[in-house]
Structures are given as C-alpha cells and as structure tokens.
Amino acid sequence: MNDELNGARSLAQTLVNCGVEVCFANPGTSELHFVAALDAVAGIRPVLCLFEGVATGAADGYGRMAGKPAATLLHLGPGLANGLANLHNARRACTPVVNIVGDHATHHRRLDAPLTSDIAGFARPVSAWIGEVTSALAAAAEGARAVQAARAAPGGVATLILPADAAWNRAERAAGPLPDPGPAVVPAATIEAAARQLRDGRKSALLLRGAALSERGMEAAGRVQAATGARLLCDTFAPRAELGAGRVPVERIPYFGEQIVAFLQGLERLVLVGAKAPVSFFAYPGKPGWCVPAGCAIDHLAHPHEDGARALADLAQALDAPPTPAVRMPLQLPDLPSGALDAVRAAQVIARLTPEHAIFAEEAITCGSPLLASLARARPHTHLPVAGGSIGQGLPVAAGAAIAAPERKVVCPHGDGGAAYTLQALWTMARENLDVTTIVYANRSYAILNVELARVGVGMVGERARSMLDLHHPVIDWVRIANGFGVEASRVSTGEEFAAHYASAMAQRGPRLIEVVL
C-alpha cells in the first residue's frame, strides 16, 4: 500500500492500467488532485485545452483513430455543458470516451454553491453510462467500469463524476481492466440467411458502418459484391471511412432526402451492417424523411454492437465469393487548377497534393461534396466527418486524431462558420506541435443555410433575415486568429497560391492554417 495514494491517483493509475493513454483536460479547482495525479502516474499524457468543446471533440477524434478511449477532464456541470455538443457527435460516432467530470466534495453539494448543478442531468443525453465515485476507495473500481463501459461495443461515452473529496481522500489501490468481450459475433444462421437472400437476384445493397467500413470489412464487402452484384453503401456522415486509391469503392448516401430517394430507387433489399436505415438529415415541408423505397426489404446482417467486419467475411465465405474484390478505386489525381478558387478547384489541390495515409477531419459542409468527389481517387486516406451533425467539431477532431496517429498527416478542411465554434483547438495544435493542416473555406457565410432557406419553404426573405446567414460584417481574418493562437497561417485566393502553400504545409510537420478565399 502506497501512503501517498489518494482517489485521484488511484483513478489515474487505473485508467493507465486499462489502456487509457491520453487525457484532454480543461481543469478547475475541483480537479486539481486529478491534475496532480496525471503527473505522478506514468503513462498518461495530459493535453490542455482552452475550452471544453475542444477536449471532448479531441477525445472523439482520438477514439475514432485509436479504437480505444481517451479520457477528458472537465470542471463540474458547466464545464461538462461546454463539452456536450461534441460528446453528442461522439455518441453518434459510437466513439469510446471516458468523460471525467469533477464535482464539488460530496459534503459541499448540499450548500448549493454557485457552481453546483445537476451533472448527471447534463450528462444523460450523451452518455451510454454514467457513474459516480462515491468515495476515494471506490475510485479504482469505478474507473475500470468507466473504461469497460466506454469500450463496450459499439463504443460510447462513459461519464464518470469525480467529487473533489473522492479525489483527495486516501485510497488503497488501483484496479486492472475489466473484461472486454469485444463486439458480438453474428450467428451463423444469420450469415446463412443473408447468403441465401443475396443469391435470389433481387437488387440489393449493403449499408456499411463501423467495423464494416474498416479496411478488413471493406475487403470482405468487396468480395460479397463480387459474388452477388450488391451495391456497397455508407452513410453520409459515416464516422470513419477508409477511402481513396486501392480501396473498395463504397457509394456515399447523399445529404438531402429527395437525393437519397433517387439514390435508392429500384432497390429491393437493404442489408444493414452496423448501420441504420437512411433518413433525411432535416425535415422539410412535403419532402420525405424516411428514404427507403416502399417495398424494399430491410435486413440486419450485423447490429452496431456486432462485428460487422467478421460478419462480412463470414458472408463472403458462405457465398463462396472470390478471394478479392472485383473493383478497386484507381489512383487518379486531378490537375492543379489555376486562377480564382472555388470549392471544386480547392478540392483538386487537396486531392493532388495530400500524401498517402492522411487523416481528413472534415467539416467542409457546402464544400464537402466536391472535396469527397476529388478525394475518392486520390491517395488512400481516412475520413472523419461530423458524425452527429453538431458543427464545431473539425478542429478538435483533427487535434485528437493527430495525437492518436502522430506519424500521419492530418488535414482539416473546414467551413468558416463552423470553424468559429471551437477555434481554441488551434492553440492546442500549436502547444502540442500537432501535424495538422487546417483549410478554412472562407465563403463568409453560413452557406448551407442559404441553400436550406429555399428548401424549408421560406419565401421572401428580407435583409435582416438574410444578414443572419452572412459573415461578411466584419470579415473574420483567419490568418490573424491562427497567428494569435500560435499557428502559422496564410491566405490564398488562386489555385497557384493554394497549391504552393498547401504543398509547403504537406512537406513540413506541425500546425498550419490556410484560409482559402472563395
């Protein structure tokens, strides 16, 4: 027994024992013992964030790349509140996150001091699991449970509330990891049934998500396609996808409901592999929300908590499929553009010049479609979009991904409206010298909302309403802002300029920001 051991250190050591290597922190007074523990315990890297939404978004990016949870460290209910939007995204991405929230000492709560709030209440809408360390002696066990809960397939946010006295009081030991059974195996009967159905000649598609979209899953899906002719689909905002040359082509479901309807037209069977049936992102008057064709059968090959990659491999075997996919994406790099930039030309620069195995933390919104189109035949890369639709996640996800995969270049193509939400991530990129190149698409508007205005059926719009979607007054100077946070930055407005600056960013390590004026 260690005389120095307190609840905080017992918890920190337990997290390390359970494989947690990083803690994205924005601490306050009630978390100081845990901060000290991050120093005393070897094997966990504290990463300071200036805002909680950066910490939670980075934990999401880390978890999507590492396949295991990082911890956060947040300051009571309001600190958690600032991190909730990106925890919503993490929830939708099924990212494992151990979300540690400090609280007042247990005896202090009844006094209703100003920072007292309903922490569990704040946490509930985003958490797969909520626990509380009721005493320092319980810190180890609760910590191990939190990691187990975060890792439980398909992965989720496990919120652990750590009262200050449970951190500072004496503890006895740290705990080791609890069992992690991994994702459930899809029963053979389900595989056999799917194989039978896919042989019946109906027009079928497999909708892949999670492990099914890993390289292993896609290889198997490609074999199933080779055997059956089934289409391979993924969600508009599939949390993680392996894309580019050499990969099995997967068709991405489009964004708008009526586009989805057209995209799925004629489909007779939709086989879900870790996914849900597609719906439109928003509702619009008189437009479809449910997008699966009438009469199309919906089958589940794998539920989200099941091993979709293995199910696909088993299905390929049951189908006696060829050993390799019939189709792979060719490498086809666009020419570099010249002259004024638009979303298509900017995408050509990025697709042409990004090195192999880059990670795209992408929140390009209206500039996203041209980018994905260009990247489809670019060098192989990983794509991490905003899985839950809550904007302001790209920069933090980029930071977290860079920490999870330090040997890979991270590119963060971001709309300017969304980039303003959690821009403090730039500071963490500078502080940790993260290898992230941020591209801000400066169209100086909430461009998507101008598209949506007509779609939701707003007729005539006056000047004041139109101004609510416009970011020209004043123009945000992203170069100054990035510099202000310690990140090297430049502004480009032609293809030539962008290519030069982007090539330079790809050739160096460390954070860069390029504002692309559209």
Which residues in the 368-407 window bind its own copies by CB under 8 A? 387-390, 392
Q: Which is nearer to its own copies, 298 or 458 (CB)?
A: 458
Is 250 within 8 Å of 236 (Cβ atoms)? no
CA 180 → CA 144, 148, 492, distances in Å? 11, 6, 49
Question: Which residue of 137, 282, 493, 500 would you call a contact of its own copies, by CB under 8 A?
Answer: 282
What DSSP character marks residue 137?
G
Question: Which residue of 117, 135, 197, 317 would you call a contact of its own copies, by CB under 8 A?
Answer: 117
511/187 Cα distance (integer angstroms): 46
Question: Which residue of 36, 185, 193, 506 would you call a contact of its own copies, by CB under 8 A?
Answer: 36
Q: Which is nearer to its own copies, 194 or 292 (CB)?
A: 292
Is 426 within 8 Å of 438 (Cβ atoms)? yes
Q: Residue 32 CB, nearest distance to its own copies (Å)?
A: 5
Q: Residue 391 CB, nearest distance to its own copies (Å)?
A: 8
Mark residues 298-327: x for contact with its own copies by CB under 8 A, - for none.
Answer: ------------------------------
Stretch of residues binding its own copies (CB under 8 A), selected from 31-39, 59-67, 140-148, 343-351: 31-39
**Is residue 182 close enough to count as binding its own copies by CB under 8 A?**
no
Residue that is written with structure tokens 């509330």 in the block = 161
Nearest residue to 245 via CA among 305, 169, 332? 332
Site size for its own copies (CB under 8 A): 99
Q: Which is nearer to its own copies, 97 or 313 (CB)?
A: 97
Stretch of residues binding its own copies (CB under 8 A), selected from 88-96, 150-158, 214-222, 259-267: 88-96
Question: Which residue of 171, 430, 439, 499 would you call a contact of its own copies, by CB under 8 A?
Answer: 430
**Is residue 297 close enough to count as binding its own copies by CB under 8 A?**
no
From its phi and psi, is residue 457 left (phi > 0), alpha (psi between -120 and 50) or beta?
left
Q: Residue 238 CB, nearest distance to its own copies (Å)?
A: 11
Please give the helix or strand (H or E) that residue 514 lies within, else none.
strand 512-517
Contacts (CB under 8 A) with its own copies, residues 152-171: 164-165, 168
278 prior amide bond cis, ω within 30: no
**Is residue 51 close enough to count as binding its own copies by CB under 8 A?**
yes
Mark residues 208-247: x for contact with its own copies by CB under 8 A, - for none.
Answer: -----------------------------x----------
Question: Which residue of 18, 126, 205, 398 would you call a contact of its own copies, by CB under 8 A?
Answer: 126
Stretch of residues binding its own copies (CB under 8 A), selected from 58-66, 332-340, 404-412, 417-425: 417-425
Q: Which is nearer to its own copies, 290 or 356 (CB)?
A: 290
Q: Which is nearer to its own copies, 18 or 489 (CB)?
A: 489
Stretch of residues binding its own copies (CB under 8 A), selected from 29-37, 208-216, 308-316, 371-379: 29-37
Report the interhelical angle of 215-228 vs 188-198 (nearest 10°).
40
3-state secondary structure of 479: helix
What DSSP character marks residue 210?
G
Contacts (CB under 8 A) with its own copies, residues 339-368: none
207/203 Cα distance (integer angstroms): 13
Please give the helix or strand (H or E) that residue 477 lies within, else none.
none
b/e for 428-457, b at 16 or more Cβ within 10 A?
bbbbbebbbbbbbbbbbbbbbeeeeeeeee
**Is residue 114 close enough to count as binding its own copies by CB under 8 A?**
yes
Question: Which residue of 72, 82, 443, 445 would you call a contact of its own copies, by CB under 8 A?
Answer: 82
Stretch of residues binding its own copies (CB under 8 A), selected from 189-197, 277-285, 328-336, 360-368: 277-285
**Is residue 255 close enough to count as binding its own copies by CB under 8 A?**
no
Is 370 within 8 Å of 34 (Cβ atoms)? no
Is 367 within 8 Å of 441 (Cβ atoms)? yes
212/394 Cα distance (integer angstroms): 23
Q: Which is nearer to its own copies, 400 or 495 (CB)?
A: 400
Question: Which residue of 1, 111, 189, 294 would you call a contact of its own copies, by CB under 8 A?
Answer: 111
Three-state SS annotation for 378-444: CCCEEEEECCCCCCCCHHHHHHHHHHHCCCCCEEEEEEHHHHCCCCCHHHHHHHCCCCEEEEEEECC
Nearest residue to 423 via CA among 73, 54, 56? 54
Question: Which residue of 5, 20, 38, 146 would you call a contact of its own copies, by CB under 8 A?
Answer: 38
Q: Residue 508 CB, nearest distance to its own copies (Å)?
A: 17
Copy the structure tokens of residue 445: 């508007």
Question: Which residue of 124, 196, 199, 509 would you call a contact of its own copies, by CB under 8 A?
Answer: 124
399/459 Cα distance (integer angstroms): 41
Burial class (CB in 10 A: 0-12, 13-18, 19+), 65: buried
Contacts (CB under 8 A) with its own copies, residues 452-491: 452-453, 455-458, 461-465, 467-469, 471, 473-481, 483-486
**Is residue 137 close enough to count as binding its own copies by CB under 8 A?**
no
Stretch of residues binding its own copies (CB under 8 A), selected from 101-109, 135-143, 181-189, 400-408: 101-109
